[in-house]
Amino acid sequence: MKHSLSCPNLKNLELIKQTENLLSIKIRNKLTSKIIVPIYKKRQILSIFLYLLIPWIFLSLNLLCLRYLSIYYLSAYIILATYSFWRQDNINPHSLNTYIRNLIIWKWFKDYFPISLKQTAILDKNRNYIFGYHPHGILPFGAIINFGTNANKFDNLYPGIKPHLVTLRTQFFIPFYNIYLSFFGITDASKKSINKILKNGPGSSCVIILGGAKESLNAYPESTKLTLKNRKGFVKLALLNGASLVPVYSFGQNDSYNQIIYNSDSLLRIIQTNFQKKLGFSIPFFYGTGIFLKYGLLPKRKPINTVIGKPIHCPKIEIQNLRQIIIDYYHNLYINELKKIFDINSFKINMAYFDFHRKIERSFSNKFIKIFGDPYLELNSKENFNKYFNFSTLVKSPSCSIFKNDE
């Protein structure tokens, strides 16, 4: 009798011990998962850290040299710093350092998000091109990887095309950091530099992030607000040099960071706008993710899908014959081509995101098929595209962007 009563108790004790062990294992796995990071993720995080820290490292070294060097070493430093500025103004823009562009660290950088590159047309290597990159985002990771490096095999997709990413001139005021940027073919965003690139032989091209610092203030996740309506200087440069315009759009570029939202007439936005107008760059208040904490300065692991559109060939027109109506005409062609990229590819990219990243339930898939048919159907009509957007607002797609041509 005692034995029959004690058996269930022993079984219950065993079950309690088993559940306790399982719970302890689950808790331990959760704790160690945040501490024990796989080696491939460590390399990816290291590459991001280096990219974010390199400008500050150069700036700190320059300040330390000015503060602690003796008069003899200081004079040598001034000579070398002067050479770095002279080299930037007299560098041959046709030469790209292929070794640095192909370093393995850029592949780790690419895999962190990940970043992809899609080709929609073949570019003639005997022509010059101006690539217009959209949107700017907080930091233009897609432009850096796809054009500043060869991590996504740009040189193989477009043989003979030598892209030169242009950026703010203030970045070239840091001695020796300007030499570092020149290894990637990066130059300052001035008319002189762009003309020098476009006149340096066939295939020599530049990549301009057209929205600039102003557009970064509107870089909010799940939305896109482009600063393009009154940006026509790049079209004028293309017409003066006979270069072709190529629109580029990166889906998910704005999803890398969260930015604090406030009204356009608030004090903070007024300060940011005035700062951007006077100094050429803005200071957005943003945050990303951390290694052990929820918030930090690392970008979020959101996919960035860059699509390079079809070229718009511009004739070479002398400056005395160039009229505003011609600039407006090619500017409208550029905007229409950019809209085509967004309209066609946003559907495909969002569907891939739904099916593979979010693991949509079967009920959602059936509901979607009733509206559109095959989820991977080519989107050719504007009517289907509008239906898709009406539906996507209901499910709140995390990578769905609304195209707004602001200014």
Q: What letter does residue 160 receive in the DSSP assignment?
A: T
Amino acid found at 200: N
Phi, psi of 312 (to 5 degrees): -110, 105
Q: Which is more confidently placed, 89 or 292?
A: 292
Q: Whole-angstrom Cα distance, residue 197 to residue 171?
A: 19
Task: Compute the C-alpha angle 393/209/334, nearest 5°.
Answer: 70
Residue closest to 44 by CA, chosen among 154, 167, 141: 141
> Could you tell me the pTM of the whole model?
0.75
Q: What is the pLDDT of residue 275?
A: 74
195 in Cβ contact with 241 (< 8 Å): yes
Q: Whole-angstrom Cα distance, residue 386 to residue 382?
A: 6
Q: What is the pLDDT of residue 385?
A: 42
Name the band, by pLDDT with cuts 50, 70 and 90, for residue 176. Answer: confident
Q: What is the pLDDT of residue 70?
A: 72
Domain extent listing, the chain = 40-340, 352-405
Residue 258 scores a pLDDT above 80:
yes
Q: What is the pLDDT of residue 330?
A: 94
Q: Which is more confidently placed, 212 or 273?
A: 212
**Tokens matching residue 249:** 């759009």
Q: Which is more confidently placed, 21 or 199?
A: 199
395 in Cβ contact with 368 (< 8 Å): no
Q: Could you tell me the maximum CA-CA distance found in the chain, to the nearest angstrom?
A: 112
Residue 404 scores a pLDDT above 70:
no
Q: Which is more confidently placed, 103 or 82?
A: 103
Q: Which residue has the tokens 């010059």?
A: 128
Residue 321 scores a pLDDT above 50:
yes
Environment class of residue 396 by beta-carbon count within 10 Å: exposed (0-12), middle (13-18) or buried (19+)? exposed
3-state secondary structure of 54: helix
Report, as an integer, the average pLDDT of 173-180. 83
The DSSP code sequence of 245-275 is EEEEEEETGGGSSEE----TTSHHHHHHHHH
Counting runs of H as helices and runs of E as strands, what totals does the chain give? 15, 12
Amino acid found at 395: V
Residue ranges in 253-404 assigned as alpha helix (H) = 267-279, 324-352, 362-372, 382-395
Upstream peptide bond of 299 is cis (omega within 30 degrees of 0) = no
Name the band, by pLDDT with cuts 50, 70 and 90, for residue 28. Answer: low
**Tokens matching residue 401:** 């962007």
Q: What is the pLDDT of residue 175?
A: 83
Q: Which is more confidently placed, 391 or 53?
A: 53
Q: Whole-angstrom Cα distance, residue 63 to residue 69?
A: 10
Q: Which is more confidently placed, 283 or 144?
A: 144
Range scoring the smallest mean pLDDT among 148-152, 260-264, 354-358:
354-358
Q: Which is more confidently placed, 360 or 235?
A: 235
Residue 219 scores a pLDDT above 60:
yes
CA dihedral (44, 256, 162, 234) in degrees, to 10, reads -160
Residue 291 scores a pLDDT above 70:
yes
Residue 353 scores a pLDDT above 60:
no
* Gyration radius (Cα) of the chain, Å: 26
Q: In sequence order, what are the beta bridge partners of 224?
A: 403
Q: What letter does residue 210 receive in the DSSP assignment?
A: T
Report, as an integer, the average pLDDT of 40-51. 90
Contacts of 273 (CB under 8 A, 6+ apart): 214, 217, 282
